[in-house]
Structure 1
Amino acid sequence: MHDISIISMIFTASLAVVCLFLILSPLFKWDSYLHVSTNGQDLATTKEALLTTLNEIEFEYKMDKISHADYKNLMKQYETEVANIMKEEEQMVEASVDKDLMAEVEKEIEAQMKIYKNKKGEGK
């Protein structure tokens, strides 16, 4: 009988901890603690949101809802953020591209261009 009460106390305590975790977990930003390799997706989503915001700002300016000064400031701010994201994306692509593979691809393209030019010259 004594064993059952210890097991039930352990089960109750673990159930309480799980419930407490489920209640408090929305209060914490777990994505800042768990770094998953979805950075490219986050950048794409952020860039898309910023571009949408730029379109909305331009629309509101054309509808005379915001002043010219506000329009210029907001456009400059969001365009700078989009440019930074595009630079980050470019750096990610450059880091993931194999230099030797790119050199081989460029050689193949040049060879195909030479063949094409020779065929074009023969046709004249």
Structure 2
Amino acid sequence: MTNKEGIGALLLRVVLGIIFIGHGTDKFQGGIANTAGWFDSIGLPGFLAYIVAGLEVVGGIALILGLATRIVGGLFVLLLLGAIIKVQFAAGFIGGYAYDLALLVISAYLLLNGSKLYSLDKYFIKS
């Protein structure tokens, strides 16, 4: 990986982490019980709200630290596929799933390629 690719992956990793921390903390601050109720209203078990919000916060922190980047990227791919299919797709592209699709592609990049520049992963995973 060239230095430019390493910097690009670092930027994607850190920004995605910040975005997901924001989304997860918003679910907790807005009342996680409210989010669980909304999950119930769209046909998903309410307890999934706790899992999703926790994954967003913990996964976001892990991405910023560069810890388990590929695993977190894969989990975010699954989360975003669910969000697009269950919620956003019906709203159309613009104003619907465009944003989640961009986050999904960034997550898929991190799943496939990782990001070792300024990461804890480089201490645990040999290239």
TM range (shorter): 0.3 to 0.5
Question: Which structure has the larger Rg over C-alpha atoms?
Answer: 1
Greater helix percent: which structure?
1
With the length of structure 1 as denominator, give the TM-score of the two structures: 0.35
Query: Relative contact order (C-alpha < 8 Å, sep 6+): which is higher?
Result: 2
TM-score (norm 2): 0.35
